[in-house]
A = this chain, B = another copy of it.
Amino acid sequence: MEETPYRFPLENFMSSEKFERIKAFGKDKETPFLVLDLDVIKANYEALRTKLPYAKVYYAVKANPDDAVVSLLRDLGSNFDVATRYELDQLLRLGVGPDRLSFGNTIKKERDIAYFYEKGVRLFVTDSPSDLDKISRAAPGSKVFFRLLTEGLGADWPLSKKFGSHPDLARQLIKLSVRLGLEPYGISFHPGSQQRDVGAWSSAITTAGQLFRWAREEANVKLKMLNMGGGFPADYVEPTDTLQQYAEDISRFLDNNFKAEWPEEVIIEPGRSMAGNAGVIVAEVVNIAKKSVHERYPWVFLDIGKFGGLIETLDEAIKYPIYFEGSGNAREIIVAGPTCDSMDILYEKWTYTMPDSARIGDRVYILTTGAYTQSYSSVYFNGFPPLSSYILK
CB within 8 Å of B: which residues of A?
60-62, 65, 83-87, 90, 104-110, 127-131, 134, 149, 152, 157-166, 168-169, 172, 284, 286-295, 299, 301, 303, 307, 311, 314, 336, 338-340, 342-345, 360-361, 374-386
Contacts and interface: CB of A to CB of B under 8 A. Distances in A.
Given A83-B340, A383-B65, A109 B284 contact: yes
A378 B380 contact: no
A86 B128 contact: no
Contacts of A291: 127-128, 149, 161, 164-166, 169
A129 B293 CA distance: 11
Contacts of A292: 149, 165-166, 168-169
A161 B157 CA distance: 26
Contact of A160 (B65, B129, B166, B345): B345
A343 to B, nearest CB: 7
Number of copies: 2
A383 B80 CA distance: 14
Given A65-B380, A343-B314, A286 B162 contact: no
Contacts of A83: 339-340, 382-383
B385 A381 contact: no
Select the residue from A106, A336, A343 with max chain B CB neighbours within 10 A.
A343
A205 B382 CA distance: 27
Nearest to A159: B342
A376 B307 contact: yes
A164 B292 CA distance: 9
B286 A383 contact: no
Given A160-B342, A291-B127, A286 B108 contact: yes
Contacts of A149: 291-292
Select the residue from A86, A90, A164, A340 with max chain B CB neighbours within 10 A.
A340
A263 to B, nearest CB: 23
Contact of A314 (B109, B157, B314): B314
Nearest to A339: B83
Nearest to A294: B168
5 contacts: A84-B384, A105-B339, A107-B286, A134-B360, A374-B380
Contacts of A338: 84, 105, 107
Nearest to A307: B376
A336 B379 contact: no
Nearest to A192: B342
A128 B381 contact: no
Contacts of A345: 160, 162
Contacts of A172: 293
B284 A342 contact: no
Contact of A128 (B289, B375, B384): B289
Given A288-B130, A340-B105, A375 B379 contact: yes
Given A307-B376, A375-B382, 16 more contacts: A83-B340, A83-B382, A85-B383, A86-B383, A107-B286, A109-B361, A130-B288, A160-B345, A162-B299, A163-B342, A166-B292, A169-B290, A172-B293, A376-B378, A379-B379, A379-B386
Contacts of A104: 340
Contacts of A60: 340
B342 A152 contact: yes
A120 B363 CA distance: 29
Contact of A62 (B62, B164, B303, B382): B382
B289 A87 contact: no
Contacts of A382: 62, 83-84, 86-87, 105, 375
A375 B104 CA distance: 28
A154 to B, nearest CB: 14
